[in-house]
Amino acid sequence: MSSTPSVTAARPDTPRPARFARVIAHRGASGAAPENTLAAFRLAASQGARAVEFDVSLLGDGTAVIFHDETLDRCTNRTGALSAIGRHNLANIDAGSWFSPEFAGEPLPTLDAALELIGALGLSANLEMKAHGAAPGPLARAVVDALDRHAWTRQRLTVSSFDHDELQELRGLSADVPVAVLYEEPTRDWRGFLADLDAEAIHLHHTALDGALIHAAGDDGRSVRVYTVNDPAMVSAFRDAGLEGLFTDHPPRFLSQRDWASWDRAAG
């Protein structure tokens, strides 16, 4: 891909779903707090973020938790496979000390705990499903069940995944949960797949972004969001060309600037 951004202005009549805030805290405010923790979500809210993204994985007993990796090694005081533990093990897991002693004892949160807190904070949520190679189905079911238990307003959430089979499972379980399809680079048939899934958005790496893709998604009535962007200059050319959202570890780098804050607020 060319290193020079290709930007095409969006048509005035192009549909833009703009479902929620455009500056989305990636794994919470993960630049200043341990990723995928309740502390990171609280900090994101205090920094002015109005939406958070987080990863949902399953423990061995089927409990849905907020965790990115397949193993515990990187982000906790434990080692081994996430699938080798169950809910009863969570009390002994420290998900904060690896980041800083300030966060010692921070729990590895369940999906239920995360949804309860995020709802109380008034934030929107992007749940990214991480199946870690498991057969599709159980994770999607756990996500839909949790959203129903907490009566989450569909306008305040999106469920995304790189695992497109898992997204299809989720769509089979629920026709109204908004979904976004994750790509590092979009496939040739991305528009058809999003249409088949009735997806509300495509999420892709910022280096794969170009004006033609934004234009095509807009023609289809779908949003485009990019990950993970920690320098506003990386995507500023696309801000007024139809980009609908970005994921960042550092929300203040965007929200402290008037033009970016206005762009975020324009989403409603």
Whether 68 is a known active-site residue: answer yes
The pair of structure tokens assigned to 75 is 């982000």
Full 3-state SS string of 105-162: CCCCCEHHHHHHHHHHHCCEEEEEECCCCCCCCHHHHHHHHHHHHCCCCHHHEEEEEC
Of the listed 26, 203, 206, 250, which one is catalytic? 26
How far from the centroid of its chain's Cα atoms is residue 99's Cα? 21
CA distance 50 to 263: 13
Give the residue from 158, 133, 130, 114 showing the smallest Cα distance to 68.
130
- Two structure tokens written together for 151: 């009566």
Residue 236: strand, helix, or coil:
helix
Catalytic residue among 68, 203, 215, 250: 68
For residue 186, what are the contacts with CB-CB under 8 A and spacing of at least 6?
202, 204, 208, 213
User: Per residue in 48-68, is it b (16+ CB within 10 Å) or e — as a string?
Assistant: bbbbbbbbbbbbeeebbbbbb
Longest dimension (CA), the chain: 54
Nearest alpha carbon to residue 227 among 183, 266, 164, 167: 183
Structure tokens at 150: 């907490």
For residue 2, the one-letter residue type is S
Question: Which residues belong to the active site?
Answer: 26, 68
